[in-house]
Chains A and B, each alone.
Chain A
């Protein structure tokens, strides 16, 4: 079973770069420890980045949600940021931050900010004016209104932003292997850079499939996180 277009060796003969299940099974049994390790790294780098992005993004959202000019500026900046190709950003970051976890986390936080800031702003603006007025009328300070009323009511919307950011960063984290970032991208890059070798397809396949599986699992996990962290009074 040939998946890739056949390559020619130096004599012009077609090489067998093919794929078979016996070889994949052998590959998995030889490397399952490393595979688990990379998967854990992948989840970790995404989780760390999301937590940082959540704190930074919500802080920015809270700072700008009711100031039209700052709000437009923050959203426009985050909107432009997200259009920068991830490979280019990683290439720019590595001279500054070196290789490995550093540039990876910075890049992932960077791409997570737009959905999180945007959803924080939208969520905070959706809190009914009457709720805010009655909170103020009962003698809550602005900070208290924000912490006990606005953020909890906006939370499901903010969490949706984090969920979008998670999908985005699971994919981008794979590309971060370009700057020696952690995670499953290492397998994908190894596979791509050794095309023609015996395990090239196995590397690329295992890396890619696991990234997809991870994305699905994390998305499923968010259904539960949303359920358990949202007040029953806010659920549909």
Chain B
């Protein structure tokens, strides 16, 4: 009977492809033969559709914590619930088919074409051939790989960035409500990485998955996360808050050291120019589009040497102006919510 209920539950969560809640409760992992736990009493509650980034140094247990959610690593104690259901009560293989999983090494099957790779989980779930083919086409387009060109290729015929897109497409294939991502963009060059990050954010804005994303790159965390958990040894949460709040008010020296130099500039990246109290239009000053960030504004001020710059709307009409002092004033009052989008 339990088996039927579990399958029913997994079917139910897979229909809520828009994201479900995840709760970790006093989760501990002690590896056999090690006295100190890798993860100790980790508790966290993640909202449906939230993009949470675990950030911390190598070996702090952030990856272990994430991998306990799909039971690639079994917790020693504690409980993990997805949409209220304890994952330890579910068949691990059935569970994993409903959780998207992307890792840094990507792990595309080298002997299978890109289309076959992406169709892996749908085929296991018993989708019809035509439905799998349709879904593969749709996903290739979603990750901006032309199906006519890429479907029949093998992984080795793709660049690193293209492989990572195929990896994301494969994880999304069965439309899982939860995505676990372990440094997925870590092995790509900086330009490709920024591009993948931007594309992934755009994708997430449409899909609204619940995402747990592990990285050791704090700038990546700021860029992507709705909330960031800064972690230290044994997966201890030093601070769990929005990027803006962490930058504005680091909880302790550890978090501050993790943010590194230029916290103010990083914060400006997150705040749109429209958040500033605009001054009257300054005639003859350079303009910045209203959807730019305050960092872009500051950049323009430094670059042009102007005292002030104008914020212009989509039609090019100036809405008001900004100067050094108005930008500083925004930083003076920590914003309540991460200013992204």
Contacts and interface: CB of A to CB of B under 8 A. Distances in A.
Given A139-B96, A139-B124, A140-B93, A134 B107 contact: yes
Nearest to A152: B111
Contact of B97 (A138, A231, A233): A138
B110 interface: yes
B94 interface: yes
Contacts of B167: 134
A136 B93 CA distance: 8
A137 B105 CA distance: 13
B95 interface: yes
B317 interface: no
A139 B72 contact: no
A151 to B, nearest CB: 10
Given A128-B105, A130-B105, A136 B113 contact: no
B96 A137 contact: yes
A67 interface: no
Contacts of B93: 139-141
Interface in B93-131: 93-99, 101, 103-113, 120-121, 124
B338 interface: no
Contacts of B99: 137
Interface residues of B, number: 31
Contacts of B108: 131, 134
A233 B72 contact: no
Contacts of A99: none
Contact of A133 (B103, B111, B113, B170): B103
A97 B105 CA distance: 52
Nearest to A148: B109
A153 B111 contact: yes
A131 B109 contact: yes
B154 interface: yes
A80 interface: no
B156 interface: yes
B54 to A, nearest CB: 17
A234 interface: yes
User: A133, A135, A138, A234: which has the most chain B beta carbons within 10 Å?
Assistant: A138
Interface size class of A (residues with CB under 8 A): 20 to 34
B269 interface: no
Nearest to B107: A134
A86 interface: no
B232 interface: no
A132 B93 CA distance: 14
A147 to B, nearest CB: 12
Nearest to A141: B93
A149 interface: yes
A129 interface: yes
A138 B123 CA distance: 11
A232 interface: yes
B124 A128 contact: no
Nearest to B105: A130
Contacts of A134: 101, 103, 105-108, 167
A200 B170 CA distance: 68
B70 interface: yes
B155 interface: yes
A138 B106 contact: no
Given A138-B120, A139-B95, A233 B112 contact: yes
Contact of B155 (A139, A141, A233): A233
A233 B166 CA distance: 15
Interface in B146-190: 154-156, 167, 170, 180
A159 to B, nearest CB: 13
A139 B97 contact: yes
Contact of A130 (B97, B106, B113, B121): B106
B107 A131 contact: yes
B124 A232 contact: no
Contacts of B72: 133, 136-137
Interface in A113-132: 128-132
Interface of A: 128-141, 149, 152-153, 231-234
11 contacts: A130-B106, A131-B105, A131-B109, A131-B110, A133-B105, A136-B72, A136-B96, A138-B170, A139-B124, A140-B124, A233-B110
Given A137-B99, A138-B96, A232-B154, 4 more contacts: A128-B105, A133-B72, A139-B96, A233-B154
What 6 A-B pairs come out closest when comparing CB atoms?
A130-B105, A134-B107, A233-B154, A137-B101, A139-B96, A231-B111
